Amino acid sequence: MLFKWRASKNAAPSKTRGEQAEDRALHYLQQRGLNLLERNYRVAAGPHARAGEVDLIMRDSDGTTVFVEVRARADASHGGAAASVSATKQRRLVYAARHYLLRLATPPPCRFDVVAIEGEAIEWLQAAFDAP
């Protein structure tokens, strides 16, 4: 008998899981007073590559523009969600953020936050890293 593997109804492709994590992070941050400016801001490096992407660009109540990286993991094994924001990923975020800021006449104060989702837990790391 031939068996055909079929994903369960609860299994979601990684893009969908990423979108769900971003939805959760957005809702979490909005409940804490941040307002969405832009979602999935991408800067292309070439016809088939991305130089950088920011998951969420938010404005804090004090006027600070917040560039948010959302990371989700099923659990904290292998260092967890926050630890997965590598130096390379940070450089790409900074690159995209600088590109975004070039559109503005007067750049506002900014920071880079990480929202780490592990299972059902959400951790908001404000000013998680600095731009070099």
One digit per residue, pLDDT tens: the chain, 132 residues?
Answer: 343 334 444 545 556 877 888 999 999 999 999 999 999 999 987 666 668 899 999 999 999 999 999 988 765 555 565 666 678 888 889 999 999 999 999 989 999 999 988 888 898 999 998 887
Task: Calculate ∠ Cα 114-95-117, nearest 5°.
Answer: 15
Its pTM surpasses 0.85: no
Beta bridge mates, 118: 73, 121
Q: Which two tokens stand for residue 65?
A: 């523009």
CB atoms within 10 A of CB 25: 25
The HSE-up count of residue 37 (CA atoms within 13 Å, CB side) is: 18
CATH dotted code for 14-129: 3.40.1350.10
Which residues are 71's β-sheet partners?
116
Q: Read off the DSSP letter of residue 33.
A: T
As given in the structure block, the two tokens for residue 129 are 């890293």
